[in-house]
Structure 1
Amino acid sequence: MQIENEFGSFGVDKDYLHHLVNLARSHLGDDLIFCFFLKDGKVYRTLSLIIPIFLIEFYMGWLTHWGENMAKTDAFSTASALEIILSRNGSAMLYMAHGGTNFGFYNGANAQESESNYIADLTSYDYDVPISESGDVDGAKFKALRSVIAMYSAASLPPVPKNNEKTGYGGIKLEKTSSLFDILDSNLLTKAIESDNPISMEAAGQMFGFLLYTSEYTAKGKESTLSIPKVPIEPKCMLHAFL
């Protein structure tokens, strides 16, 4: 049972985590094993109950940001790690078994260790998984994991399906119909929100997408320097994010 996921990636409120432990024990009893991820003396990532061994998120790979090489993990190492869990009568949730796509603006981004280092995630949610986004199952990772699962499964595994058939749709020609900024200029007067300081997307009633912040700046003298902290320092990533 997973109680908390990734809270420690954004905060170190140990009182909150202790509250979750006490709440779980009040409903499930004291005979529980809690799994914490620790780093530099702080609680990170996941708070889970292990009954018996249950790995909540067994990562098949990792995400990729714009401008990076595609994240890949070794098939043999991944299968070997799963075998260690199953050999001890444990269970694991493959995260993920099947790849996917973040549609629209749901791909998100990370800030790494600095809030100014904005790096956008790809819309692909493949994570180098055993079953690709297109449904292919002929990769090395799928075969390696299937072999391990077959060793510890009480029932015979079903036959492996064929890869999905694919076809080419030819070239797609895009034609410009209007300018983004022309559309914005025509709607700013009716949709703009005035504020003394920048507000969050949630405060503007928008849950995803992009916000355009504008401000008037009066230069002082012949030369002035405008400094804006906590903005992207990797232009190529930001450019891709807006395209």
Structure 2
Amino acid sequence: MTIGFIGLGNMAKAIIGGILAKGLMGPNEIIGTAATEATRLKVSNKYGIQIRNSNEAVAKDADIIFLAVKPQYLKVVIADIMDSIDDNKIVVSIAAGKTISWLAKEFEKPVKLVRVMPNTPALVLEGCSAVCRNDLVDDNDYHFIIELLESFGKAYTVPESMMDVVVGVSGSSPAYVFLFIEAMADAAVAGGMPRKQAYEFAAQSVLGSAKMVLETGKHPGELKDMVCSPAGTTIEAVRVLEEKGFRAAVIDAVTACIDKSKSL
């Protein structure tokens, strides 16, 4: 079994790193290519994987091919590799906005297709990936793809109709969280805390809070109420956030992200 990557950017590197860290595949079983030789050599030197000089070579030599390029480049990449894809190969796309039906149309023939929407916390093995497939991908193949994706975080099967929503709530949301952490740290700096320490306090608080949601099973509102003592500091902060439209701003931002994904 050989896994190939067309595109060796951050997400491809996160997937490769997770696969190797979990021991699911060896470096000699992973091949990849990128637009520049510098990128190919950098990734090969870091992970020990094999490199190829063209998209066609990866598609020819790999059993599972990850299309890890930006959506606007997919059409060209598919044109490069379509003649090298046969009935036994699986193509996995991680591009936002490109549906399975769009991919199938571009290949102009029956192809085993899996669509994935990961996010950048995969770089620290805490990713969240949404996954769907077409009817040509059998259960054994699909479960193996899920296993690969779970090497760098969580992977959940969703209806393809939910993929644009996934982009809004998971794929793009790390950026919203980074903004929140930065803003909290800025306030702490304004209060006199050194910046490095402010980032550590803010980031650890977000990490711990997220873990409480996932591990306690409690509703976020219930967990929020547990922190808000009567006439205390926390409820005063919550009052200001509500007054400034914090919740509405987040909902509007996620909705705008979903709409943009649908238009890609």
Alignment TM-score, normalising by the size of structure 1: 0.29
Choose between structure 1 and 2: higher helix proportion. Answer: 2
Q: Whose Rg is larger?
A: 1
Higher normalized contact order (CA 8 Å, seq sep 6+, divided by chain length): 1
